[in-house]
Amino acid sequence: MISPFTYFPGAGRGFQRLVSNCWLLCLFLLSLASVGHAEPSAANNAEVEMGRKIYMEGMRPSGESLKGMRQSSVQVEGATAACETCHRRSGMGSLEGNIVVMPITGRFLFATAENRPLALVDPREAKNVTRAHAPYNDESLGKAIREGINVSGAKMSPLMPQYALTDVEIKAVSSYLKQLSSDLSPGVGESSLRFATIVTPGVDPQKSKVMEDMMRRAFEQRNASQQTYSGRMRSPLDLLPRTLRNWELTVWVLEGAPETWAAQLAEKYRSEPVFAVISGVSTTTWAPVHNFCQQEKLPCMFPSVALPPVETGYYPLYFSRGVTLEAEVLAKHLRSEDKSVPKRLVQFYRDDEVGRGAAKALTDALKDFDIKIENRALDDKDLAHLKNTLKDISSKDAVMLWLQSADLTAVSKAAPKQVPAVAYVSGFLAAENYSFISKAWKPNVRVVYPYELGAKREKNQQMMKGWLKTWQLPLVDEAFQSEVFFNVLFLTDLSSQMLDNLFRDHLIERAEDMLSFGSNVSAYPFLGLSRGQRFASKGAYIARFGKDGKLGADSEWLVP
């Protein structure tokens, strides 16, 4: 059982400062206790599973697909009729256009006035929270599902379909809802909310340090601001009662070969469970982390990685598809240039996961296109003898440099006087460091650039730059740091909208719904996730250096 104070143990602290607000007082009194829920028993399990199939898959126990009616004709069927479509995986509801879809987990449906939890139902309006209603029982739930009449006897929005379910099926749905999002997720403590960030081996220590420093500073700032209600204007959202929880950050530094990461992650997670993984950085593979997040149902929000797995999951979210996206953007660009494209494209890449992945993605994307692709995978030995590797490059060739800045510098040093027709560089891998480019090469260099450029970029980055200055944190890699900065701000917004409904599925749903609404402080032109999408930015520019030495767009924003 959850103690009566699980949801709002700290509400009293904020409360004293809020008594002048009558409606808040009422909310506070209503939310003092939380709903108890049934302990799962073996007999209950089969029923819950039956309910899950209806709720999540739109599948009835008979194997027949669920049909939802409006005005007595079938309007939705199967997966689209599944309750999850509107009420979401967490059961916490959603906003469909302007129509509020209620949270319908047991905590909300069966709550009495004394134990009613609170959810924000329209993030655009901080006062729009769940309203009190008499507690549902299986009979009134049946009436809502079958006839579209809610517990207060009112006809509901026609958006809510009507379903001809049997008593057994209604009971199964009821059992499913009672256990759905009933316990707060792991990583949520009485007075703490724990997050991790992850660093894989081989990352420049300066980068991982600046990430950690930024996150720690942001967490401290956020923790300090939730304790003090006076002194600064706050969003009305911050005034809704909730438990004050300090955010805690732990850094999971992985070591050794990727095959061993899963065990390391499991051990770290076992010793200190976290609610979500925020940011993270890798210059090699990320697949073991991705798989771990998916397996533990652990949201892994927007790490800075060059090669996210192609196969998406539910819990890992990414800024973009990294070098795979760049490869497809470049292919699109080459196809549109057609006639003027060199006949041969030589790809140089590190013989590692990211390099091979990038080279393969470009080869695949240029299938059936009239260009000869040659691959040159480089290891440390090759890099020492680069002159040999580069000597046959002529002014008729295009080259693609899937290389990080240290390797780019080596290439530049060994580069022949002979300048290729065009040298493409990966914007992700170059990491904003173009100092390697020699004067001779510069006019022929094109950067496949996944970030915004020019004045808009400047504007979006201003806030971060000011913040870094305030806290005397260095600016070492603008795009990367903007990803970290975006993450902590976005997380702050999401968590304040979630109030005390700290369920991981709900975090992902909120991220999907809210990503395109927040102010974009990242280096990307636009971030957005439709339902089920897992890559927030979907294109890149082909960019070149102008006379002023600055990078500018040489193409429109290309979305493959």
Applying CB under 6 A, which residues contact ligand HEC? 54, 68, 81, 83, 85-87, 99, 101-102, 104, 133, 141, 144-145, 150-151, 156-157, 159-161, 163, 173
The nearer residue to ligand HEC, 68 or 308, going by C-beta atoms, is 68
The closest of 345, 331, 319 to 560, measured between CA atoms, is: 331
Q: Contact at 8 Å (CB) between 43 and 57?
A: no
Distance, in Å, from the CA atom of 145 to the CA atom of 136, rounded to the nearest integer, reads 12
Least Å distance, CB 110 to ligand HEC, is 10
For residue 169, CA distances in Å to 50, 63, 174, 347 come to 8, 13, 8, 59
Least Å distance, CB 93 to ligand HEC, is 8
The encoded tokens of residue 152 equal: 């207060």
The nearer residue to ligand HEC, 140 or 283, going by C-beta atoms, is 140
Least Å distance, CB 60 to ligand HEC, is 10
Count of CB atoms situated within 10 Å of the CB of 23: 10
Distance, in Å, from the CA atom of 483 to the CA atom of 36, rounded to the nearest integer, reads 40
Least Å distance, CB 142 to ligand HEC, is 9
Least Å distance, CB 137 to ligand HEC, is 11
The nearer residue to ligand HEC, 155 or 391, going by C-beta atoms, is 155
The nearer residue to ligand HEC, 121 or 437, going by C-beta atoms, is 121
Cβ-Cβ contacts under 8 Å for 445 (sequence gap 6 or more): 422, 423, 424, 425, 434, 437, 544, 545
The tally of CA atoms less than 13 A away on the side-chain side of residue 167 is 1
Least Å distance, CB 177 to ligand HEC, is 7
For residue 349, CA distances in Å to 250, 369, 376, 379 come to 33, 21, 6, 9
Least Å distance, CB 86 to ligand HEC, is 3
Give the end-to-end CA distance of the chain in Å, rounded to a whole number.
51
Q: Contact at 8 Å (CB) between 542 and 398?
A: no
The nearer residue to ligand HEC, 57 or 382, going by C-beta atoms, is 57
Least Å distance, CB 106 to ligand HEC, is 11
The nearer residue to ligand HEC, 133 or 442, going by C-beta atoms, is 133
The nearer residue to ligand HEC, 160 or 289, going by C-beta atoms, is 160
The nearer residue to ligand HEC, 85 or 497, going by C-beta atoms, is 85
Least Å distance, CB 496 to ligand HEC, is 23
Phi, psi of 502 (to 5 degrees): -90, 75
Distance, in Å, from the CA atom of 180 to the CA atom of 91, rounded to the nearest integer, reads 7
- What is the CA angle 420-358-374, rounded to 5? 45
The tally of CA atoms less than 13 A away on the side-chain side of residue 36 is 5
Distance, in Å, from the CA atom of 456 to the CA atom of 448, rounded to the nearest integer, reads 18
The nearer residue to ligand HEC, 153 or 549, going by C-beta atoms, is 153
The nearer residue to ligand HEC, 17 or 131, going by C-beta atoms, is 131
Least Å distance, CB 54 to ligand HEC, is 6
Distance, in Å, from the CA atom of 536 to the CA atom of 542, rounded to the nearest integer, reads 19
The nearer residue to ligand HEC, 173 or 218, going by C-beta atoms, is 173
Q: Contact at 8 Å (CB) between 329 and 448?
A: yes
* Encoded amino acid at 105, one letter: T
Least Å distance, CB 81 to ligand HEC, is 6
Distance, in Å, from the CA atom of 321 to the CA atom of 313, rounded to the nearest integer, reads 13
Least Å distance, CB 104 to ligand HEC, is 5
Distance, in Å, from the CA atom of 373 to the CA atom of 378, rounded to the nearest integer, reads 16
The nearer residue to ligand HEC, 66 or 184, going by C-beta atoms, is 66
